[in-house]
Amino acid sequence: MTKFLLALHVLAAIVAVGPVTVAASMFPPAARRALLAPDDVGAAGTVRLLHRICRVYAGLGIAVPVLGFATASVMGVMGDAWLIVSAALTVLAAIVLVVLVLPRQEVLLEGGGDRGTTVRLAMFTGVFNLLWATVTVLMIVRPGSTTGA
């Protein structure tokens, strides 16, 4: 059961979190292009598509911690420091996405915002991506693990 849950957890992370990190990273430059060419329907369509990917896959991303906690429970590592830190960073990443990234994307989609908004959005997106990268490293290295990994 452990291997099955772990496989689902990893697949969910790849399928759900991967697209959000890529689409969110692509959004600020695409929004800048759309701001520079307000009549370019293709640029506006790209920005809308990237935002939709971020929203949809952020929702699907809820499966990652759910499966992660199920896996950790079966493995008996719920109290391990690396897991607690990973969970806290996951919550922080979700907050950054929901409170700082997605709302700024929506402002830009609605025609508000300017180049400064895209710069701040790029910064918050970078923070979101760094948090997920840190969680990924913690999941692989698992400090204090006795598995030899």
What pLDDT does 74 receive?
93
Say whether pLDDT at 123 is over 60.
Answer: yes
Per-residue pLDDT tens over the stretch 46-86 = 999 999 999 999 999 999 999 999 999 999 889 998 999 99
Rounded CA separation 48/45 (Å): 5
pTM of the model: 0.90
Say whether pLDDT at 25 is over 70.
Answer: yes
Rounded CA separation 97/113 (Å): 18
Say whether pLDDT at 45 is over 80.
Answer: yes
Say whether pLDDT at 148 is over 60.
Answer: no
Alpha helices, H only, the chain? 2-12, 18-36, 41-60, 63-75, 81-95, 102-109, 115-141
What pLDDT does 141 receive?
87
- pLDDT range class, residue 147, cuts 50, 70, 90: low
